[in-house]
Amino acid sequence: MNSLQQLIHTRMTELHRSYGEIARRGGLPRSTVYHLASNSRPVRVPNPRTLARLAVGLEVPEHVVRTAAATAAGFVLDEQAADDPEIEVLVASLARLSPEERRHVSALVQSMLDAADREDSGAAHLPPDHNATSAALGSALGEIPVPVAEGLGRET
């Protein structure tokens, strides 16, 4: 099972939805969702509009679906090293977590970022490398082709 198939099947199970329901919510034909979920050897990455609609139907950020589709089509994603070794260790550790544990980490990070954004003083309370840390975590969480809970994940 490729990464896009895995994402679709996992989210369908988590959301207790059928191909038809995922398709309806995303504005796609049921046959398209079924094809993406059952075609184990995609020749190319699906149309960006299809991926965007699939993300809506699966209730995950679009970059998660794009990453899964690219990986399924055989593309290798560019992984840039962080300038901070602590960030590299943290990001590398994410691969050892279960999908559920990664969702918890993602929720915690998102909660912390949202709280920081809401503070009146803004960046005054953030560490100097806040943006690098956020980008590395967001990138790592987004490039692991696993389901992300509804409303989680952050476009970087």
Give tens-digit pLDDT for 115-153. Answer: 888 885 555 455 555 555 555 555 555 544 444 444 444
When pLDDT is averaged across residues 43-72 and rounded to a whole number, the result is 89
For residue 3, pLDDT over 80 is answered with yes
Pick 82 or 19 by higher pLDDT: 19
Nearest 10 degrees: Cα torsion 17, 22, 23, 26: 150
Contact predicate 45/75, CB 8 Å: yes
Q: Which residue has the higher pLDDT, 154 or 25?
A: 25
Give residue 118's pLDDT.
Answer: 84
User: What is the pLDDT of the chain when averaged over all its residues?
Assistant: 76
Domains of the chain: 3-72 (1.10.260.40), 85-143 (no CATH)
For residue 44, give both structure tokens: 């190319």
Residue bearing the bigger pLDDT, 150 or 16: 16
* Contact present, 61 and 52 (Cβ < 8 Å): no
